[in-house]
Amino acid sequence: MHLRISLVLALFWTQGAIAQQPAPAGDAKAAHKKVQMCEGCHGIPGYRTAYPDVYSVPKLGGQQAAYLMRAMQAYKSGERTHPSMRGIAAGLSEQDMADIAAYYGGSK
């Protein structure tokens, strides 16, 4: 009985430790090779997209890096549903997202 309780507690502790792992540190310089896919929409001042609906594409430069990281994770997980962004985020690793967030978080 004590062994079973110990195993259950160890499992919960391990899952909690994994869930609390910090996001990888972003490298803005490494992102220079990764942002081409972003620039097509987010790099055009005043750009508006027509798919799936017409709306203004947000400027990424100057946003908080943590916000950008969370947004990309939400697109990748399906929590956010814009089809183009979901497709792009699906191919990004956690390190890619951290690098891109650092790049745009440090630019204006």
Q: What is the pLDDT of residue 106?
A: 85
Taking 90 as the threshold, does the pLDDT of residue 108 lie above it? no
Biggest CA–CA distance in the chain, Å, is 65
Query: Tokens in use for 18?
Result: 């994994």
Other beta carbons within 10 angstroms of residue 69's beta carbon come to 21
Residues 6+ apart with CB under 8 A from 30: 99
Contact 20, 3 (CB under 8 A): no
Q: Mean of the pLDDT values across residues 11-28? A: 63
pTM summary value? 0.74
Domains of the chain by range and CATH? 24-105 (1.10.760.10)
Residue whose C-alpha is closest to residue 59's, from 45, 70, 48, 73: 45
pLDDT tens digits for range 29-84:
999 889 998 998 998 888 998 877 888 899 999 899 999 999 999 999 999 998 99
Give, as one character, the DSSP assignment of residue 20: T
How many whole angstroms separate alpha carbon 70 and alpha carbon 91?
15
